[in-house]
Amino acid sequence: MKKAIHLVMMLAIGFGVSGKVMADEALAKAKNCMACHAVDKKLVGPAYKDVAAKYKGDAGAVDKLAAKVKAGGKGAWGEIPMPPNNVTPDEAKKLVTWILSQK
């Protein structure tokens, strides 16, 4: 009985995480991030998996990248600039946290 309860709890936690990941992907789509980025391949901008790999282990990456998402930037991934995005600071952090979770 304890094993069954444990299994149900683990599945519920797993579905909660999957739902959050999907919500953040939906936010990326809603904010038009996916017009220039894809999870696993370079489009206009870098693949999110490449961004996650580049910043893996960087404790300040979320704040640094959230600021870039909000203000835009140029030069980190080439000469094509990323325009400023119409996102709140909280949305920018959610997007970056999701991006950095890509493997």
Domain of 31: which CATH number?
Answer: 1.10.760.10
What confidence tier does 89 reach under pLDDT thresholds 50, 70, 90?
Answer: very high
In angstroms, rounded to a whole number, what is the distance separating the alpha carbons of residues 51 and 22? Answer: 19
What's the domain range around 59?
A: 22-100
User: Considering the domain boundaries, does residue 7 fall inside one?
Assistant: no
8 Å CB contact between 94 and 27:
yes
Q: Does residue 21 have a pLDDT over 60? A: no
The answer to whether position 66 is within a domain reads yes
36 is in an annotated binding site: no
Whether residue 92 lies inside any domain: the answer is yes
Instruction: Compute the distance between CA of residue 85 and CA of residue 75 in angstroms, rounded to an integer.
Output: 17
The string of pLDDT tens digits covering residues 59-84 is 999 999 999 999 999 998 999 999 99
Q: How many domains does the chain have?
A: 1
pTM: 0.78
Task: State yes or no: 6 annotated in a binding site.
Answer: no
In a domain, 8, yes or no: no
CB 65 within 8 A of CB 91: no
In a domain, 67, yes or no: yes
Is position 33 annotated in a ligand binding site?
yes
Residue 10 lies in a domain: no
Is there a domain that residue 12 lies in? no
